[in-house]
Chain A
C-alpha cells in the first residue's frame, strides 16, 4: 500500500496473537477494510505453539486512532491477544527480494551495494541479478532507494515482523481496559 499524504505519521506495529484456524486472516483483513483502517504491511506465520499464529500488522494511526483499531480487533473471537510494539521498543526485521538490471558494466556496483547491506545475491541471470536484503525496515528502505537507480525489474518485501525488545516494558492494551 503506497504511503499517501495522510499516512505520514509514525507507523505503529501491532503484534496480534490469533487462533490458528481457517479464515482468521480473512477476518482480520475484512475488519480493516470495513472499518476503513489502513494497513502498511502485514505478515502472518504460525508460532511455536501450533494452536496459535502471529500476525504482525503495521497500521497507519493517522487515519484511525490506534485505540479504536485495537478495540475492534479485540472483538474478533479468534484474536487472543494484541500487543502494541512501539518501534522504539521493538526489534523489527523485514526481508526484501529484488531482481535488478545489472549487466556486466554495473554488476560490480550492485554486488558491492548488496554486500554493504550484508545482503546476498540469490540468483544470477545474463544481465539481471536477484538480490536479498534483510534487516531493520529503515535499512531495507535505504537499500531499496539506493538500488532503484540500477533498474528494478521486480521487487517484493515481506512486511515487517517484530518482537518486543528485551528488558523493555511493553504497552499491552488488553481486554481488561
Chain B
C-alpha cells in the first residue's frame, strides 16, 4: 500500500492508539494536516503552540499515556520548547511532531527554518530528523517506545515538508530495535535484601516518595509497603496524591514550603527510603546539612539519579513498582510486615517505631499548617479560598496549578486522596502552565471535574487557551487567586530585599478578568467577600458547557509558610507567625 509520508505519519499515530493531537498548523506541517481530516484522531486547535505542549502534558499526567502535540517549523517549534523542557524536568511522556522546511532547503536559512533537533536536544529524551519518508512508521514506533519506557520523557520528531509528501510503502514494525536503549526493569535481589536489612534496623525511617511512584503506577505497592511496615511517608510536590493525605502515616509535602513535620521528620530520620525522588534542591535545602543522620536507600529507574546529589547507602536502579514489591517480599522474609517474624530472624530486633511516630504526632500538633482563619477577608485569605475549593468539589477532582504562591497553597491545603489528581509544573517551574494543562487534563479525563488554581501573573501568560477550551467545549474551571502581584517574587523581596518591591505589582483590575473571561466564551465571576466564596464555587461546579473563570480578590500581604530560606539548612525552617519565630 502506497501512502504519502503525511498519511503514514497519521496512520502510525493511529497504530499507537493516539486519540487526540493538540496542535496548530503552518507551512511546513501543512501536508500532515490534510490526512487529519480523514482520521479518527481528534485534533484540538490551540491558540499558541506553548498551549499545545502544556495540554499534551496535562493529558499525559492524568492518563499515563503519552501526550501528542503537532506544530509547524521555526516559530511553531521554538514556541513548544518550554513545554518540552517542562516535560523533561518532570519526566512527562510527550511525542511532539514538528514540521521542517524541505530537506533541500535545510541549512539555507529558509523561511521559518530553525534547527529544531539542535535546539531541543537538551530538553528531550531523544529527537529525530526524518530524511527518508520510508523511515516514518519505524521512527514513530521508536519515539513512542522511548517516550513511555524507562524514565518517561518528551521526544520530538522533525518532519521536512518534502518527506511528508514523498511516498511510503506502508508497513508497521513488529518491534523496536534501538541497540543503545535497554531500559531497566527489575531490581537486583541482593540490593533489595540489603535495603530490607536497613529498614529492619532503623528506628526513625521515612519514605521519601517522589513523582517516580506515579510514573511507575506504584501507588498501590507503596500503600502496601507502608501498611506492612508502619513507616511514615512524605510526598513531594510531584508525588502529591501518590499516597493519600488522610492516611495517618502521610506527613504531606516536604521541602522549601513543606510542612514542619515533613521537613523535620526527614531531618531527624535515621533512614530515608527515597522512592522515585531525586533529592531536588527544593527538597534538600543546604545539602551538607540535609538529613545528616540518615542512611539512604534510593530507588530510581534512572541510574544517573543514584548518587547524583546524595550518595545512597543502597542504590537500586529499577522500576519503582517492581522494586517496592520485591522489597515487601524481602521484608517479609526477615519477618518485617509479613505476619509473625520467624524465630532467629533479624526482624526480631526491629526497633519499635512507636517513639518515632509519637514524636511525629507531637510535631504535627505543635506546628500545623495554618493561617489566620479568623480573618478570611476581605481581602480574601488565599488559603481560605483553597480550603473552600477543596471542601466544595468532588472527591476525585483533578487539581491543576501554575507556579508560585498559589501553587504552594494548593499543594499544602488540598487533601489528595487519589493518584493522578494533581497536575503541576515542578522542576521547571513554568508560569502559565495551569490553563493549558487543565484543558489537556479535561480532554484526558472528560468525566472528571478539573479545577485549576492559578495566579494572576500566571493566568496572563496563557489565558488565550480558554478560547480553545470554549471553542472545543472543554469545560475547565479556573480559580485565579488575584493578589495583583507576582506574589512569590514579592514574598522574596519582602523577606530578603528589605521590602523593596521591584517590578512585581500587576494591578487587580487590569485586565478585567471577568470581562476577559466572557470575551473568551467563559463564565466570568468575581469574588471579594468570604461569604461569596462557596456560592461562586458551587455555581462554577454547575456549569458544564463552557469554562468558568473566578477572579478571587486575595490578600497580597499573605505569605507562604513554612519556608526554608534559599541556601539555608532545613533546620532553619520558618513557620507562620501564629506558631512562633523559626518554629524551633
A and B, one complex? yes
Residue of B at shortest CB range from A69? B304
Contact A65 B146 (CB under 8 A): no
Q: Enumerate chain A residues within 8 angstroms of B317, measured Cβ to Cβ.
A: 177
Contact A77 B121 (CB under 8 A): no
Q: Enumerate chain A residues within 8 angstroms of B118, measured Cβ to Cβ.
A: 23, 26
Q: Assuming A68-B308, A79-B180, A80-B180, is B126 touching A30 (CB within 8 A)?
A: no
Q: Assuming A27-B121, A77-B146, A175-B184, is B179 touching A68 (CB within 8 A)?
A: no
In the complex, A7 Cα to B179 Cα: how many Å?
A: 33
In the complex, A30 Cα to B178 Cα: how many Å?
A: 21
Residue of A at shortest CB range from B183? A175
Residue of B at shortest CB range from A31? B122
Contact B180 A78 (CB under 8 A): yes
Contact A23 B117 (CB under 8 A): yes
Contact A67 B307 (CB under 8 A): yes
Report if B502 contacts A (CB, 8 A).
no
Q: Enumerate chain A residues within 8 angstroms of B129, measured Cβ to Cβ.
A: 22-23
Interface residues of B in 161-191 (CB under 8 A from A): 178-182, 184
Interface residues of A in 40-95 (CB under 8 A from B): 65, 67-68, 71-72, 74-81
Q: Assuming A77-B178, A80-B179, is B304 touching A30 (CB within 8 A)?
A: no
Rounded to whole Å, the gap between the CB of B79 and the closest CB of chain A is 21
In the complex, A68 Cα to B308 Cα: how many Å?
A: 7
Proximity string of chain A (7-29) to chain B, C-beta cutoff 8 Å, 1 when within and 0 when not = 00000000000110011001100
Give the interface residue-count category, chain A.
Answer: 20 to 34
In the complex, A138 Cα to B178 Cα: how many Å?
A: 38
Report if B303 contacts A (CB, 8 A).
yes
Report if A34 contacts B (CB, 8 A).
yes
Interface residues of A in 124-177 (CB under 8 A from B): 175, 177
Contact A19 B180 (CB under 8 A): yes
Contact A30 B179 (CB under 8 A): no
Contact B181 A77 (CB under 8 A): yes
Proximity string of chain B (122-166) to chain A, C-beta cutoff 8 Å, 1 when within and 0 when not = 100110010000000000000000100000000000000000000
Contact B304 A77 (CB under 8 A): no
Report if B302 contacts A (CB, 8 A).
yes
Contact B304 A72 (CB under 8 A): yes
Q: Enumerate chain A residues within 8 angstroms of B125, measured Cβ to Cβ.
A: 75, 77
| Interface residue from B178, B179, B180, B303 paired with A71 (Cβ < 8 Å) | B303
Q: Enumerate chain A residues within 8 angstroms of B180, measured Cβ to Cβ.
A: 18-19, 76-81
In the complex, A134 Cα to B495 Cα: how many Å?
A: 62
Contact A74 B304 (CB under 8 A): yes
Query: Which interface residue of B121, B180, B308, B317 has the most chain A CB atoms within 10 A?
Result: B180
In the complex, A77 Cα to B127 Cα: how many Å?
A: 9
In the complex, A18 Cα to B126 Cα: how many Å?
A: 14
Contact B307 A68 (CB under 8 A): yes
Q: Enumerate chain A residues within 8 angstroms of B303, measured Cβ to Cβ.
A: 71, 74, 175, 177
Rounded to whole Å, the gap between the CB of B391 and the closest CB of chain A is 44
In the complex, A144 Cα to B381 Cα: how many Å?
A: 71
Rounded to whole Å, the gap between the CB of A28 and the closest CB of chain B is 10
In the complex, A72 Cα to B307 Cα: how many Å?
A: 12
In the complex, A22 Cα to B181 Cα: how many Å?
A: 17
In the complex, A77 Cα to B176 Cα: how many Å?
A: 13
Contact A68 B304 (CB under 8 A): yes
Rounded to whole Å, the gap between the CB of B297 and the closest CB of chain A is 17
In the complex, A77 Cα to B181 Cα: how many Å?
A: 5
Residue of B at shortest CB range from A72? B304
| Interface residue from B117, B126, B179, B307 paired with A65 (Cβ < 8 Å) | B307
Contact B304 A26 (CB under 8 A): no
Rounded to whole Å, the gap between the CB of A17 and the closest CB of chain B is 8
Rounded to whole Å, the gap between the CB of A86 and the closest CB of chain B is 20
Could you list 11 examples of A-B contacts with CB < 8 Å? A18-B180, A23-B117, A23-B121, A26-B121, A30-B122, A34-B122, A67-B307, A68-B304, A71-B302, A74-B303, A77-B178
Residues of A that sit less than 8 Å from B by CB = 18-19, 22-23, 26-27, 30, 34, 65, 67-68, 71-72, 74-81, 175, 177
Given known contacts A23-B121, A26-B118, A76-B180, what 12 new A-B pairs fall within 8 Å (CB)? A18-B180, A19-B179, A19-B180, A26-B121, A27-B121, A71-B308, A77-B125, A77-B180, A77-B181, A79-B180, A80-B179, A177-B317
Residues of B that sit less than 8 Å from A by CB = 117-118, 121-122, 125-126, 129, 146, 178-182, 184, 302-304, 306-308, 317
